Amino acid sequence: MKRALILCVCLLLVATAAQADHKPGWNAKRATEVMRSIGDPHRDYFEGFEISVPPPGWTAIVNNTYTWEVGTYSPFEGLQNAVCYYDGTYSGPQDEWICFEYTLEAGDDCLCFQVYGSPYWAIDPYQNYNIHVKINGSEVWNYVDDSVDPVMWQWQESCVSLDAYSPGQTLDICLGYTGYDGAEGAFDAIFIGDCGITPPEPCCPFDVVCVDKHFNTCDQDYFPIPCGVGPIPWEYGVPVGIPGVSCDDVPVTHVLATILNGDYPVAAGQGAVVGPFDITAECSCLEICHFYDIEPGYDGGNVKVSTDGGATWTLVYPFRGYDDILDSTSFQAECVWMEEVFTGHQTEFVRDCFDLSDYIGQTVHVGLFFGADGSVTYPGWYVKWIRLGGDEMSPVQQSTWGKIKSNFRSMFRKN
């Protein structure tokens, strides 16, 4: 049954919050738009393991049957990556390395790489294995200590400063896997060059909340919009089986979710749209507080904005980046296939923010688009609030029932 549209006027809430701690450096996940492609001019050296592992010119230190080899399952870019699997026969500790030499050039500020592993087996609770990077025999990075908020089986970019070394100096760089009874680890897209883009500071939390769509009190304040042919996933109400406390320690009573009790259906696909919102210079940061438990790499959700009442949509990027791209050619998710998405497993509600300053002076709708492939499902995506704000005072945005209905009619007339 189509859900009735109920207007919920959620006005200004006085909210003063300190800026979130930002972890400096290069270990934060980022959206593809700021990850470097193979031809990026910032790269003086690049290795994507497309020929072999070890690649030509590299050497391998092999102490175990399970050592570094070619991986073809969901590489970060290209068709292959370097992977080391754990020894399932438990015949002894693994100590496996692949190494190469590189002579530094002027401007070679960073050694960067894509890496993934298992926080569960590497960090908590087992601490059975580690993934390492060494330069001239000294460890400069390891997965257990230096990966920032690692996500299970998701590629994350990390970089190591090369400021301690001089142009003309030859470095012996090694990628390693050590431990006993661990889990697989992988590297891809190794490059040396200019550090290039520095991740910007997030725009939220902000000092002033201009518009607050808080689903504890905003009863069904969203529009469903079709984008696929599968079952409809979005529901509003009291959730079951998720964390009871959200961002800023706010209790969870009601959420906008992909199924409130149980798992989302296979082949699900739909958008949930809120708005319209007038974007101003003082009110151009979008914040969502959400929790998700989604099949990693195959199902997911993302955030888009529309300036034409829902006729067209543009993907917007959170400051930390999305978790993955749903690029499987065998298992295609409704609505979000070949797009970057939130995917994988969170253990608590998280805050993500989006810079909408490109839309200043325009009226936008915000869409939460979710899609799943034809097999394997999890609880899904739960949104606690959607806010617009900034660090300077701005008048509270008012909405009228007539404006809401007009946008609602135009949205479905164009689809």
pLDDT for the residue numbered 404: 37
In angstroms, the CA 143 to CA 122 distance is: 8
More confident residue, 338 or 37: 338
Torsions phi, psi of 370, nearest 5? Answer: -125, 145
For 335-372, the pLDDT digits (tens) are 999 898 999 999 999 999 999 999 999 999 999 999 99
Task: List strand residue ranges (DSSP E) for 343-398, in order.
Answer: 344-345, 350-355, 363-371, 380-390
Counting Cβ atoms within 10 Å, is residue 142 exposed (0-12), middle (13-18) or buried (19+)?
middle
Give me the mean pLDDT over the 235-252 stretch. Answer: 95
Task: Report CA-CA distances (Å) from 41 to 44, 62, 111, 191, 198.
Answer: 7, 34, 15, 11, 16
What is the DSSP-derived secondary structure letter of residue 245? B
pLDDT for the residue numbered 377: 92
Assess whether pLDDT exceeds 60 at residue 37: no
Task: List strand residue ranges (DSSP E) for 180-267, in order.
Answer: 185-193, 208-214, 223-225, 234-237, 255-258
Domains in the chain, please, with CATH? 32-193 (2.60.120.260), 208-413 (2.60.120.200)
Instruction: Tell me which of 15-19, 37-41, 169-173, 404-408 is least confident.
Output: 15-19
Residue 128, by phi and psi: left (phi above 0), alpha (psi -120 to 50) or beta? alpha
∠ Cα 234 240 242 (to 5°): 95
Q: Which amino acid is at 84?
A: C
Out of 123-132, 322-331, 406-415, the most confident range is 123-132
pLDDT for the residue numbered 328: 83
Inter-residue contact 112 to 26 (CB < 8 Å) = yes
Assess whether pLDDT exceeds 60 at residue 396: no
pLDDT bin (cut points 50, 70, 90) of residue 29 is: very low
pLDDT for the residue numbered 220: 63
Which percentage of the chain shows pLDDT scores above 70? 82
pLDDT for the residue numbered 390: 92
pLDDT for the residue numbered 71: 95
Nearest to 335 by CA among 230, 190, 248, 213: 230
Assess whether pLDDT exceeds 60 at residue 69: yes
Give me the mean pLDDT over the 180-200 stretch. Answer: 83
What percent of the chain is helix, strand and coil (3-state, nearest 5)?
5, 35, 55
∠ Cα 323 37 307 (to 5°): 60
pLDDT for the residue numbered 282: 92
pTM comes to 0.56
The alpha carbon dihedral of 150, 151, 154, 156 has a sign of negative
pLDDT for the residue numbered 74: 84
pLDDT bin (cut points 50, 70, 90) of residue 223 is: confident
Assess whether pLDDT exceeds 60 at residue 3: no
Instruction: Tell me which of 87-96, 137-146, 189-198, 323-332 is least confident.
Output: 189-198
pLDDT for the residue numbered 219: 64
Averaged pLDDT score across all residues of the chain: 82
pLDDT for the residue numbered 392: 62
pLDDT for the residue numbered 43: 62
Q: Which amino acid is at 309?
A: G
